[in-house]
Amino acid sequence: MEIINSNQQLRTILAKDHPDMNIWSLPIVKSVVVNVGIGSIRDEKDTIQKVIELLQTLTGQKPIASKAKKAVSAFKTRQGNIIGYKVTLRGKRAFDFITKLFHFSLPRIRDFRGLSDTLINQGTMNIGLKESSVLPENSENTAAFTYGLQITISLTTCDPVITRQVMQLLGAKFK
């Protein structure tokens, strides 16, 4: 199975499977968003700095802070507080991250039998990782703390069947 590195390669493969569709209406990868919530460690500045550095190492871009839109007393947040960090990947960096995720990281998860179909929703695929230690860039010396990642892969289609097919072409394994 070949690794797809660009939207042009993806469209070429999909054009063979869907000859009745226009080449420009075939789906492509819009973006990959990697998000980390820092709710429980928001007062520990050194740990937050390590999370930022690891997110930067994983994606190759500097993360931006996500701020609370309104105050929620149950979570002890106020409007404007930093509640997480996110990175939006497009183009080559998005395809590099998808390749690392599907071919190297997810198979390292213990008892991994494939992704569920419920992760796909109208052109997007949402994956939640409980631990970031399955990612290859996360070295052993930073395992003193663990944090979860939320990964959203967005396509230009709204059809869940075509979304599943595109994810399989990109290397995702389904149950």
138 within domain boundaries: yes
155 φ/ψ angles, rounded to the nearest 5 degrees: -115, 170
pLDDT of residue 85: 92
Q: How confident is the model at residue 64 (pLDDT cuts 50, 70, 90)?
A: very high
User: Domain residues for 28?
Assistant: 7-36+98-170
52 within domain boundaries: no
Residue 134's identity, in one-letter code, is: V
73 within domain boundaries: no
21 within domain boundaries: yes
Q: How many domains does the chain have?
A: 1
What's the pLDDT tens digit per position in 7-23? 888 888 888 888 888 88
Q: Which helix (H) or strand (E) holds 53?
A: helix 45-59
Average model confidence (pLDDT) for the chain?
Answer: 83
114 within domain boundaries: yes
What per-residue string of b and e applies to 110-128 under the rule 16 or more CB within 10 Å gives b?
eeeeebeeebbeebbbebe
What's the pLDDT tens digit per position in 87-142? 999 999 999 999 888 888 887 777 778 887 777 888 888 988 877 767 767 655 45
102 within domain boundaries: yes
Q: What is the pTM of this model?
A: 0.84
We report the CATH number of the domain holding residue 126 as 3.30.1440.10
29 within domain boundaries: yes
CA 167 to CA 79: how far, in whole Å?
37
Averaged pLDDT for residues 35-56: 83
72 within domain boundaries: no
pLDDT of residue 62: 94
Q: What does each C-alpha distance from 173 to 12, 107, 108, 111, 125 come to in angstroms?
A: 21, 9, 13, 13, 13
**Radius of gyration (Cα) for the chain, nearest Å?**
18
Better-scored residue on pLDDT, 160 or 98 = 98
DSSP 83: E
pLDDT of residue 155: 92
Averaged pLDDT for residues 144-158: 83
